[in-house]
Amino acid sequence: MSFKNFLLALVIFLMGFGLAYFFFNQSTQKSSPKILKNLVTSLGMRKNQIIGFLPYWLVDKADKNYSQYLTNLTYFGLTINPDGTIQKLLNPTEEEPGWYSLRSGRLKGLFSSAKENNLDLSLLVFSGNEEAIASLISNPASHAANLINDVAPLMQEDGFNELNLDIESFKPDASDSARDNFADFVRSVREKMDEKKLGALTIDVSPTDLVKKRMIDVTRIAEYVDRVVFMAYDYHFLGSFVTGAVSPSSGAGIDAEFDVETGLQKAVEILPREKIFLGIPLYGYEWETIENKPRSAILPGSGLVISNRRAEELLNSCATCSALLDESAKEPYLIYEDQTTGTVHQVFFPDESFIKEKLKLVQTYEIGGVALWAIGYEGNNILEPLIDYKNTLE
């Protein structure tokens, strides 16, 4: 046992005598995890952090007790209008689905359970429209104020203690003014959040932002955010020309230009390690292919998202299917022939061993934690390695 773990055990044991009443009193039982959490923090220790993104379209599939796997549950999410306000309607008669799911009350029980189990709650706001993003950052201070004015009552009402900015621009060569304006927008969001005491700020970025001149200059925004989630997936995607790993742990310079470990190596050069979170997919892709070997050409338009849950079902139901391992990427895949159509299918997907490989990287580079996209995609076993990881004291 390490000295810190021994000290923690000793302090908790001694506190038990003086606080016995509180631990056995019903009202204080609910707050005892926070007491221990504060004690751990005061001793300079923390548990590893695990964010679980919960999209509104997967709420009905989120059927587990996630408190054993997660430290943070992030709701995805609300759409940002070009002026920074939150989109509430798609048209005069139809509510925006993320807004509707949050305001309809269908998430109240899930959020209450999360808080009772000492999970932090985060609210994610999103934009992936290039024109809307250009407008959003055209007036950084004013539009940041609009955003915080809209989300502050929601965060306070539902108990969110963190805001997640997921603003995804994929323009390959952003202008200096766009990069400046985005950094000003993030700074203004931080200032407005601090004024209203809204808690932590997280931002989601692509690892490509580390090596290309994209709108998000990670070095510029680092001081304003508490966490940076690197969305380390979609290295191969629905529209790829050949099959391959969705989130290759390694293989750069062999089978790919870039991989997850290369991204982490660059991230720790420019960011405090405790702010870095590795995004891990709980999904993969299935394609129809020309040949029955990896990195085969894909039939255009044949790509499908396949969750870990669906991959487990496929392996259990397909007598001729067996999972193989892409040795360089450290990612499982399978190849099978559709008995009805005769077409060849290839599936790259995550499983329990895939999660273990990602956690090895996280521990090697001593970063702040991981973020899972997305809760509801998981099958029976893929989350199990997270239990030991979460409960490891640093």
Between 131 and 4, whose confidence is greater? 131
- Please, how many CA atoms are within 13 Å of residue 310, restricted to the half-sphere of its CB? 15
Q: Residue 388: pLDDT band by 50, 70, 90 thresholds?
A: very high
The tokens describing 5, both together, are: 């773990």
- The rounded radius of gyration (Å) of the Cα atoms in the chain is 22
Q: What percent of the chain has pLDDT over 90?
A: 82
In degrees to the nearest 10, what's the CA dihedral of 286, 333, 296, 232?
A: 80
What's residue 56's pLDDT?
Answer: 98
The tokens describing 330, both together, are: 């450290």
pTM of the model as a whole: 0.89
Which pLDDT tens digit goes with each residue over 133-190? 999 999 999 999 999 999 999 999 999 999 999 999 999 899 999 999 999 999 999 9
